[in-house]
Amino acid sequence: MKKGKVYLVGAGCGDLGLLTIKGQDVLTKADVVVYDSLIGDSILGLIPATARIIFVGKRSSNHTMPQEDINQILLEEALKGYKVVRLKGGDPFLFGRGGEELELLAENDIPFEIVPGVTSSIAVPAYNGIPVTHRECCSSLHIITGHKKAGQAYDINFKALVDTQGTLVFLMGITGLRDIMDGLLANGMDPDMPAAVLQQGTTAAQRRVTATVSTLAGEVEKAHIETPAIIVVGKVVALSKQFAWYENLPLFGWKVLVTRPKGHSSVTSEKLREKGAEVLEIPSISTVPMPDSKQMKQVFSKLSEYRWVVFTSPTGVDVFFEKLLNLKADIRALGSAKIAAVGEGTAKKLKERGIIADLIPETYDGDSLGSALASKVRGGEKILIPRAEKGNASLVRQLKEAGAFVTDLPTYCTRFEKSSLVDERKGFEQGKIHCAVFTSASTVKGFAEGTKGLDYSLVKAACIGKQTKAAADALGMQTFVAEKATIDSLVELVEEMKNGKKIQEEV
């Protein structure tokens, strides 16, 4: 049997944007993913549904699986011929035990690659406005493991560290913070040397405690800092107030859940991240093309008879053109037809196909589309609506009442998806997810399917339109609706919600 291959992939330290392009590419093609507990939720969301997932998380003294067993798992899965991704927080070779995991693979001639990750020792200070080197402050950086066994003294040459006069970064050292500070002081460190503890950097939970080597331990105890966190000691820490940038972004501190159809990249997520939100992107629905039915074949063979073709979603556009090819229909048959689109996103999809929509309603929803199109109907026109299996009944009703002959053609169906890796329900119950963004009623319903038992009154829902809002209202969520049914307006709504400027809409 052909051997597989193992990729040691550094996942960075939380922010999805810090995962390397190669790391993302390898992860999305994995057959098996073996992952740790410090992987960001947004990165876990990239793992393909087809991949087998093995959790081997480690935190502090709580080890889910011994290192020797992890090594054996990597070997066994590779011997089965799989593409195995060992997903590790930070960088695999920086206190990540990556070298240990490769030894057994090398002994058995298993192919492997290393995909470096952005280490927290540099990224987290950067997100807190701390340059780990600065010409006027220091010329060296030293990264030290702060981990030690309970009851044992540190095996660290504190004198050598003090003598470097460089920046010191201690990883995994929060439980031994006071011992570390005492060790530095006992070996000549200036008691007034700036020092900081940085909690969960690059995420919505990022916090910073700055003090001096002599006072840091006490300040951290008062602040109730949570792990993971790193310790930074050096003159560069004093620059944090001047150089802080992440916490100044408008959505800093908010973790936002964005629901979307599976397989769709989200412009919404990109815009939220630009404003500083930590975005958890979860597919709540998937869309599946319907089988080529007798009705579908008949319709596509007579496209030239339709006066209007109406698209109610970007997915509807994609599936329509797939069917056009599958059924060997000719796009030129649409030459005399006018095209209607429910909104900006759908119109953009059409434009990618070289088609400019003739009609887009002022308000982007099915009712408004029906009303706008009905006003164009003179009676007797044939109108085709290729769309989801369960579509807006009002759209068809309005067109028929206006005298049109409507073909409501189901071309795809919607299925609900649930993440096996990210516990959305727990996130809302613990107050760690601050808002959910919904771009359709179906994504609300998909979210509900994946979070059964959740008290939905805990969910602040940013909704793109009234139909989406109605679906969220039915579950008892705290609902807010965008002024316009556009992505930009939806992102503005989230910002207003964070700032308390948006009042909850009444049901």
Average pLDDT, the chain: 91
Among 281-285, 351-355, 446-450, which stretch is predicted with the lowest mean pLDDT? 281-285
Cα(334)–Cα(330) distance, integer angstroms: 8
Work out the number of other CB atoms within 10 angstroms of the CB of residue 214.
17
pLDDT of residue 402: 94
Mean pLDDT of 77-101: 94
Whether 153 and 186 have beta carbons less than 8 Å apart is answered as no
Q: Does 423 qualify as catalytic in the annotation?
A: no
Q: What is the β-pairing status of strands 167-171 and 141-145? A: parallel
DSSP class of residue 236 equals G
Q: Does 91 qualify as catalytic in the annotation?
A: no
Domains recognised in the chain with CATH numbers? 5-118 (3.40.1010.10), 122-248 (3.30.950.10), 255-287+418-498 (3.40.50.10090), 290-415 (3.40.50.10090)
- Single-letter residue type at 364: Y
Mean pLDDT of 390-413: 91
Of the pLDDT bands very low, low, confident and very high (cuts 50, 70, 90), residue 264 is: low
Cα(468)–Cα(479) distance, integer angstroms: 10
Among 3, 58, 400, 466, the active-site one is 58
Cα(75)–Cα(396) distance, integer angstroms: 58
pLDDT of residue 442: 86
Task: Quote the radius of gyration of the chain (alpha carbons, Å).
Answer: 28
Q: What is the pLDDT of residues 310-363, one digit of tens each?
A: 999 999 999 999 999 999 988 888 888 999 999 888 999 999 999 999 999 988
Q: Residue 462 contacts by C-beta under 8 Å, 6 or more apart in sequence?
A: 435, 436, 437, 438, 480, 482, 490, 493, 494, 497
Length of the chain: 507
Looking at the predicted structure, is the pLDDT value of residue 507 above 50? Answer: no
Q: What is the pLDDT of residues 110-147, one digit of tens each?
A: 999 999 999 999 999 999 999 999 988 888 999 999 88
Mean pLDDT of 281-286: 82
Whether 180 and 172 have beta carbons less than 8 Å apart is answered as no
Whether 169 and 95 have beta carbons less than 8 Å apart is answered as no
Cα(273)–Cα(258) distance, integer angstroms: 11
**Nearest one of 486, 443, 435 to 459, comparing CA atoms:** 435
Of the pLDDT bands very low, low, confident and very high (cuts 50, 70, 90), residue 59 is: low
Mean pLDDT of 221-232: 94
Among 5, 15, 36, 91, the active-site one is 36
**Phi/psi at 449 (5° precision):** -65, -35
Q: For 11-115, where are the E strands, in sequence order?
A: 32-35, 52-55, 58-59, 62-63, 83-88, 112-115
**Nearest one of 421, 465, 410, 411 to 443, comparing CA atoms:** 465
Looking at the predicted structure, is the pLDDT value of residue 252 above 90? Answer: yes
Looking at the predicted structure, is the pLDDT value of residue 504 above 90? Answer: no
3 state DSSP class of 78: helix
Mean pLDDT of 434-451: 91
Looking at the predicted structure, is the pLDDT value of residue 285 above 90? Answer: no
